[in-house]
Structure 1
Amino acid sequence: MAHTCRGTINLATAHIDTEDSCNIVLSSGGRTYHLKASTEVERQRWVTALELAKAKAIRMMNDQSDDSADEEPTSQSDHSEIQGTLKTLASKLDDLSTCNDLIAKHGAALQRSLSELETLRVPLEGGEKIKAVNERATLFRITSNAMINACRDFLDLAESHSRRWQRVLQHEREQRTHLEETIEQLAKQHNSLERAWREAPAHSVNTPDTPTTDTGVSERPRKEEASDEDEDTEYFDAMEDSPAFITVTATDPSQHRRSQSNLSGASGGQPSDWNQEDNCSVSSNDYSGKELQPHRKRRTQIPEKPNYSLNLWSIMKNCIGKELSKIPMPVNFNEPLSMLQRLTEDLEYHELLDKAARCENSLEQMCLVAAFSVSSYSTTVHRTAKPFNPLLGETYELDRLEEFGYRSVCEQVSHHPPAAAHHVMSQRGWTLWQEITIASKFRGKYLSIMPLGDIDIVNHRTKETCQLKFSPYSYFSREVPRKVTGVVKDIDGQAHYILSGTWDDKMESAKIVQSSRGSSSSEGKQKTVYQTLTPKLLWKKYPLPENAENMYCFSSLALTLNEEEEGVCWTDSRLRPDQRLMEAGRWDEANVEKQRLEEKQRATRRRREAEASKAIDEGQDFEGYTPLWFHQRTDEMTGETVYVYKGGYWEAKERQDWNMCPDIF
């Protein structure tokens, strides 16, 4: 079907299987249908009909492959394809002509032989048979000639119409291109109007702070066929460490009502779904813009990325087998942001934590925290360049206290291996801290990066958990690209919510109202069938700014991260000269400055190593490098050693006293 409707699947990509004598299983993408026939004979008739329909659908799909949105052949390629087709037809016609000549030659010889047989003295009956064979041979030669003539006529017709076909194809391609350009222009105008509306002072909102206690929740480390909201049935893959599960959306949500005592703001006569009319409400308006608008107008663009040529081999031959952090990489591979600024980009959707802090139900809170953890990956989907590796002692602050109620500070606490610590304090009831350590090597053909951790989310107060699975995807996989699924469970392991979506677009949650054991999967795992209410939107990615493709595909927040700001510490990434030069498009100067900074850092390290060696020789204690704003402590909840903010940064900024900070730039 050209336009699918609710309940349809694409037969061309469907897998048809049989479970037993009467059951049929149809699966396509993430959807599976279990059908049952009345008898085995009836089932076989249906399987045969479905297989024939599938073959027809595949043929239709191949015939209409030029209409695929993923393929836009150029006029030259179309012309080449048509010419190739005509050349093939001409070749086949030559083959037929050769066969015609052979048929005529051998037919004439056959007829001569038959005529000679007629002259022989044979019985009357034998002569009649020879005559009949001669007549049939003549008829065969006439038919063969007619076939050859028909083939020649077909080729002449194809050649006469080929130019007209090319003109029609070119016209349709131009119309499609024009339509795409018009839609793109409309989308840009829509984004501009939306930004203008969001930035209008009349629409700014002042929401009072809502002080709450620490939640105690921590994180450890498609092109879609149809909307998940439009499907009655959705099937999820098995979690690696848990049974497979299936969700079935309830057709009558009013039959499943929650106790009003468990949810503030729910009306007595309506289903008390947690995404409606409560302290954690997530309405469509929440995703049209930020909760509060900045008092200060932030920049919305940076200089466009210049086009620099680069001799890759001269760089790669000195990189193989070395740690990436030890390679003097030119800025051509970078984007004009540091890793500390990229880490701060996790706060793009901080309003999810604001909502989570207001939640009275810890399970609903877990869903929002899980959506926040997924959202931090959405900024990377189009970003292929690497951020600047921070210098040891480099810091980055993001003060959005007046606009959004939070303050963020990062510090590069180790250089080998690279490690950064991050701490965020919010006036809206939450605190976030994290550290990132990346082990990487350049292998000559690819960059190998091994991030440490999985994503398990644990509420240490209630012992509730959420395990998120980021499904692997390959070109040959039938999975939705960038798919994420998860299950929110209580302390007893009972599932309460299903999470689904993609890390580059959106996440949804669906409340489980009933669960049961299903059939075993092909891998032998027991499936769990979850019946859920209609999924609700938790998070949706903001569209990229206009002209983002020429500005390193930065989001609206990323465009503001390197904006110059007064009063920041002199180790702040905004003040890093090579990064600033690169942002301005002066890459040659940036490369020179980058080498100077890295050599200065190496000299500092050599001096520190010499001091350590001297202290050891003299039998004295020597304390190695210690970060300025963070120190290592054992986490009471997890038992892991982590870098924790020890305070003092914002007080030093208030005093404008940075004398304790190292000179790294």
Structure 2
Amino acid sequence: MSEPKTPTPTPAGDTYKGWVFKWTNYIKGYQRRWFVLSNGLLSYYRTQAEMGHTCRGTINLATATITVDDACNFVISNGGAQTYHLKASCEVERQRWITALELAKAKAARMQAESDDSGDDFSPSSAPVVPGQGGGSQNSEVQSALRTLGSKVEDLSTCNDLISKHGSALQRSLSELDSLRLTGEAGDKIRQVTERATLFRITSNAMINACRDFLTLAQAHSKRWQKALQAEREQRVRLEETLEQLAKQHNHLERAFRGAAQANATADNKSAAGPGKGEASDEDDDNEFFDAMEEAPEFITVPADPQFHKSKFYTLNEEPLVMNQESPSQELVPLKKRRTRIPDKPNYSLNLWSIMKNCIGKELSKIPMPVNFNEPISMLQRLSEDLEYHELLDKAAKCQSSLEQMCYVAAFSVSSYSTTVYRTGKPFNPLLGETYELDRRRESGYRSLCEQVSHHPPAAAHHVISDRGWTLRQEITVASKFRGKYLSIMPLGTIHAIFEKGNNHYTWKKVTTTVHNIISGEIDVVNHTTGDRCHLKFAPYSYFSRDVARKVTGVVMDKDGKAHYVLSGTWDEKMEFSRVMQSSRGGENGTEGKQKTVYQTLKAREVWRRNPLPEGAETMYYFTALALTLNEPEDGVAPTDSRRRPDQRLMEDGRWDEANAEKQRLEEKQRIARREREREAASQRTSTVDEDSLTDPSLKSAPHDNYQALWFERCEDRITGEPVHIYKGGYWEAKERGSWDGCPDIF
């Protein structure tokens, strides 16, 4: 058994913990247990690992008695119901525990007495919550500071009493020794100790007097300061309520004024002809627009992000200017109604062994798989599904703190796996040059473009730009293998998220997935601007594990390694984050002998929750509401768009036999185009080099395929140093012109 470590009090003020030996029975004797003293309660556990789930016993010190047996032993009892016979490893450690227990007992007794007191004095915990502030971060900080100061004053008062008591007892013991009138060396030692004790007593008395004066002043002014702070809070609340009332009255007056102006304009139009009538019609449209705005009270009280709300809400002074700049018909056109169903998945029988026996151990991208294993969307559309929870990036773009922003980015990196919970089909492998656009600018503020930029290995480049202050880009190479019993998908590549505010640049990589929804691995989300980092761990799960299924945990740290937030949850349900107030290294783990970091956190806040699946999802490949709209036909998209892919469309319609035939035709067409490019590349090399240079090994290793992506260009990423494809622009401009001359014929 290793030597017990001295308990280490944490700076939180109310917590003391460490290893102590506890009497169990006459057979086992004293056993080492992990004791935690916190908030007036003494609890113990067999190991530190049990702190999260199994407490072995607790004593409330407010009503407990503490007695000392000998140099190392002490007893804690609450009147017979519970009694702990404890033994420290040494006398110094026992005295530390006794001091900590006495302080905690005095504080617990005071708190119990104050809770029974029905006086009207203000307490920080009873401070009102300011409306519209969600509890108020400033309010919480002030309350926390008041509680901390009050706790420290109470500790000082208790220490004052303890010093007085123990100092008097020491002086009495020394006086008794002095009265023995010993001679020789013992007498000299006693006189020397007595002189030093006298000096210590004089100094202690001076400190005790200073502490008494400080306590008197602090107690006299504390309630006055607290009441003044409460009055300031109440006044601020009244001012906010008054401001809201004035804003509403102003809104009503503005509406009444416009109504009167409309009536006057109508009367004038009856007596006049020509252009005046058209002007009155425009005024009517404005009035209807303002009436619709009136129904959104949050427009007055909630601070708005100008980039977010410019397309939806306007202040009364700004609106006419915006309406003059943009077409009213464009603003008032209703959003496109997206589909909520696709044809049900047909029940097709298939001789699996005839296919599987030739597939085991091979890359799926090189096997002509029938559509029976697919779902009717392409890998490009599956990549676009990462935007299911784009609201997380919208919220991240508004964060003032880069560390809090990291929490939303980390939650977004987890959310992309939630769409795979019930999905067992594989998406279509995109053809080289295939594209997919997802234009949700009017609904959600973003535009997304994917392009298949390589066929072997299959790689897709993805670029998203949002009007709400963020950009997302990634290049994913999917290495998928059929293992006989399950399908393993290993995404390779880096995801980048860049925010305009603060110019924060985040990167992370995806983890391995199987069709059995076993997602395991670790993700490091890094802010290359500030050095902040979030380490996410996807815990592997088995039926024999007691842990939560699909669990994800993470810690957000700054560049110095200090933890600020803790994230926890599951990748298929929700994620929460908590503010770290303090972290400390725990003692030895009872099973592995390792140390674990203990984080003291505030109450957890939910940052993300999975959207429920649409009704009837089990017959529609378990698609989410967004996935149901991805393959919906849309006018104006590029001729290479996945929506125009015929085999995928036939499969969605339930015509799988025709889809299989069409899939083979498209793949053969792609192979013919690849061979043609290889011939062109070979002829170009032959025409540019002589026979002697053909012996150059660098020329012999040159790629045989000279394919270049249309909307992305290959370069080296300045952050990661990886060769990547970056969006070079031009797609959305080509769509506006309706000019797709450069697009290859792949379908």
- For 1:459, the equivalent position in structure 2 comes to 527
Report the CA distance between 1:461 and its aligned residue. 1.4
Question: Relative to structure 1, is the Cα distance of residues 254 and 365 closer, same or farther in structure 2, using a 3 angstrom cutoff?
Answer: farther
**Higher RCO (C-alpha under 8 Å, 6+ residues apart):** 1
Contact 1:254 1:271 in 2 (8 A): no
- Alpha-carbon distance between aligned partners in 2 of 1:320 and 1:337, rounded to the nearest angstrom: 24
- For 2:102, the equivalent position in structure 1 comes to none
Question: Relative to structure 1, is the Cα distance of residues 607 and 464 closer, same or farther in structure 2, using a 3 angstrom cutoff?
Answer: same
- For normalisation by structure 1, the TM-score amounts to 0.59
- Alpha-carbon distance between aligned partners in 1 of 2:51 and 2:557, rounded to the nearest angstrom: 27
Pair 1:496 & 2:531 matched: no
The residue identity in structure 1 corresponding to 2:618 is E
The residue identity in structure 2 corresponding to 1:311 is N
Report the CA distance between 1:619 and its aligned residue. 3.4
Report the CA distance between 1:611 and its aligned residue. 2.0
For the residue of structure 2 that corresponds to 1:269, the secondary structure is helix
- Alpha-carbon distance between aligned partners in 2 of 1:437 and 1:514, rounded to the nearest angstrom: 41
Aligned with 2:725 (options 643, 658, 661): 643
Report the CA distance between 1:272 and its aligned residue. 8.6
Aligned with 2:395 (options 328, 334, 355): 355
Report the CA distance between 1:458 and its aligned residue. 1.3
Aligned with 2:346 (options 283, 306, 312): 306
Pair 1:541 & 2:610 matched: yes
- Which runs of structure 2 are paired with 1:31-46 in the superposition (5 Å)? 31-33=53-55, 35=57
Aligned with 2:139 (options 259, 269, 282): 269
Pair 1:610 & 2:679 matched: yes
Task: Provide Cα deviations, 1:521-572, integer angstroms capped at 9, x if missing partner.
Answer: 2333221111111000101111000000110000000000000000000000
- Which runs of structure 2 are paired with 1:203-222 in the superposition (5 Å)? none
- Alpha-carbon distance between aligned partners in 2 of 1:593 and 1:365, rounded to the nearest angstrom: 46
Report the CA distance between 1:584 and its aligned residue. 0.5
- Alpha-carbon distance between aligned partners in 2 of 1:595 and 1:576, rounded to the nearest angstrom: 13
- Which runs of structure 2 are paired with 1:110-189 in the superposition (5 Å)? none
Report the CA distance between 1:265 and its aligned residue. 11
Contact 1:254 1:270 in 2 (8 A): no
- Alpha-carbon distance between aligned partners in 2 of 1:24 and 1:525, rounded to the nearest angstrom: 17
Aligned with 1:531 (options 587, 600, 605): 600
Question: Relative to structure 1, is the Cα distance of residues 495 and 650 closer, same or farther in structure 2, using a 3 angstrom cutoff?
Answer: same
For the residue of structure 2 that corresponds to 1:567, the secondary structure is coil
Contact 2:452 2:460 in 1 (8 A): yes
Aligned with 1:327 (options 367, 373, 382): 367
Pair 1:655 & 2:730 matched: no
Report the CA distance between 1:267 and its aligned residue. 6.4
- Which runs of structure 2 are paired with 1:231-310 in the superposition (5 Å)? 266=136, 268-271=138-141, 295-310=335-350
- Alpha-carbon distance between aligned partners in 1 of 2:563 and 2:658, rounded to the nearest angstrom: 57
For the residue of structure 1 that corresponds to 2:688, the secondary structure is coil
For the residue of structure 1 that corresponds to 2:475, the secondary structure is strand
- For 1:429, the equivalent position in structure 2 comes to 469
Contact 1:409 1:423 in 2 (8 A): yes
Question: Relative to structure 1, is the Cα distance of residues 366 and 296 closer, same or farther in structure 2, using a 3 angstrom cutoff?
Answer: same
- Alpha-carbon distance between aligned partners in 1 of 2:355 and 2:334, rounded to the nearest angstrom: 43
Query: Which sections of structure 2, spanning at least 5 residues, go unmatched?
Result: 1-27, 36-43, 60-65, 67-72, 82-122, 144-300, 306-332, 493-508, 510-521, 690-698
For the residue of structure 1 that corresponds to 2:629, the secondary structure is helix
Report the CA distance between 1:30 and its aligned residue. 6.2
- Which runs of structure 2 are paired with 1:556-571 in the superposition (5 Å)? 556-571=625-640
Report the CA distance between 1:344 and its aligned residue. 0.3
Aligned with 1:509 (options 555, 566, 577): 577
Aligned with 1:445 (options 461, 476, 485): 485
- Alpha-carbon distance between aligned partners in 1 of 2:386 and 2:725, rounded to the nearest angstrom: 18
The residue identity in structure 1 corresponding to 2:566 is I
- For 1:111, the equivalent position in structure 2 comes to none
Contact 2:465 2:472 in 1 (8 A): yes
The residue identity in structure 1 corresponding to 2:743 is C
- Alpha-carbon distance between aligned partners in 2 of 1:30 and 1:278, rounded to the nearest angstrom: 39
Contact 1:469 1:484 in 2 (8 A): yes
Pair 1:372 & 2:412 matched: yes
- Alpha-carbon distance between aligned partners in 2 of 1:364 and 1:428, rounded to the nearest angstrom: 17
- Alpha-carbon distance between aligned partners in 2 of 1:473 and 1:564, rounded to the nearest angstrom: 40
- For 2:708, the equivalent position in structure 1 comes to 626
Contact 2:677 2:705 in 1 (8 A): no
- Residue-pair matches, total: 425
Task: Provide Cα deviations, 1:46-105, integer angstroms capped at 9, x if missing partner.
Answer: 9xxxxxxxxxxxxxxxxxxxxxxxxxxxxxxxxxxxxxxxxxxxxxxxxxxxxxxxxxxx
- Alpha-carbon distance between aligned partners in 2 of 1:617 and 1:626, rounded to the nearest angstrom: 20
Contact 2:674 2:705 in 1 (8 A): no
The residue identity in structure 1 corresponding to 2:487 is L
- Alpha-carbon distance between aligned partners in 2 of 1:468 and 1:604, rounded to the nearest angstrom: 43
Report the CA distance between 1:254 and its aligned residue. 7.3
- Alpha-carbon distance between aligned partners in 1 of 2:436 and 2:538, rounded to the nearest angstrom: 30
Task: Provide Cα deviations, 1:160-194, integer angstroms capped at 9, x if missing partner.
Answer: xxxxxxxxxxxxxxxxxxxxxxxxxxxxxxxxxxx
Which moves more between the two structures, 31-40 or 382-391? 31-40
Report the CA distance between 1:28 and its aligned residue. 7.9
Task: Provide Cα deviations, 1:449-488, integer angstroms capped at 9, x if missing partner.
Answer: 3333452111111111111111111111111111011011
For the residue of structure 1 that corresponds to 2:414, the secondary structure is helix
- For normalisation by structure 2, the TM-score amounts to 0.53
Task: Provide Cα deviations, 1:497-521, integer angstroms capped at 9, x if missing partner.
Answer: 0000001000001001122221122
Contact 1:578 1:589 in 2 (8 A): yes
Contact 2:45 2:51 in 1 (8 A): no
- Alpha-carbon distance between aligned partners in 1 of 2:578 and 2:304, rounded to the nearest angstrom: 15
Query: Which sections of structure 1, spanning at least 5 residues, go unmatched?
Result: 1-16, 47-252, 282-292
- Alpha-carbon distance between aligned partners in 2 of 1:616 and 1:35, rounded to the nearest angstrom: 81
- Alpha-carbon distance between aligned partners in 2 of 1:272 and 1:465, rounded to the nearest angstrom: 29
- For 1:159, the equivalent position in structure 2 comes to none
Report the CA distance between 1:446 and its aligned residue. 3.2
The residue identity in structure 2 corresponding to 1:401 is R
- Alpha-carbon distance between aligned partners in 2 of 1:655 and 1:504, rounded to the nearest angstrom: 42
- Alpha-carbon distance between aligned partners in 2 of 1:374 and 1:442, rounded to the nearest angstrom: 25
Contact 1:357 1:429 in 2 (8 A): yes
Question: Relative to structure 1, is the Cα distance of residues 614 and 353 closer, same or farther in structure 2, using a 3 angstrom cutoff?
Answer: same
- For 2:445, the equivalent position in structure 1 comes to 405
The residue identity in structure 2 corresponding to 1:660 is G
Report the CA distance between 1:323 and its aligned residue. 1.6
Aligned with 2:546 (options 478, 490, 494): 478
- Alpha-carbon distance between aligned partners in 2 of 1:528 and 1:443, rounded to the nearest angstrom: 39
For the residue of structure 1 that corresponds to 2:55, the secondary structure is strand
- Alpha-carbon distance between aligned partners in 2 of 1:457 and 1:525, rounded to the nearest angstrom: 26
Question: Relative to structure 1, is the Cα distance of residues 610 and 265 closer, same or farther in structure 2, using a 3 angstrom cutoff?
Answer: farther
Contact 1:24 1:36 in 2 (8 A): no
- Alpha-carbon distance between aligned partners in 2 of 1:525 and 1:451, rounded to the nearest angstrom: 33
Report the CA distance between 1:19 and its aligned residue. 4.6
Contact 2:451 2:711 in 1 (8 A): yes
- For 1:84, the equivalent position in structure 2 comes to none
The residue identity in structure 1 corresponding to 2:614 is P
Contact 1:265 1:278 in 2 (8 A): no
Pair 1:582 & 2:664 matched: no
Question: Relative to structure 1, is the Cα distance of residues 436 and 512 closer, same or farther in structure 2, using a 3 angstrom cutoff?
Answer: same
- Alpha-carbon distance between aligned partners in 1 of 2:142 and 2:628, rounded to the nearest angstrom: 40
Report the CA distance between 1:393 and its aligned residue. 0.6
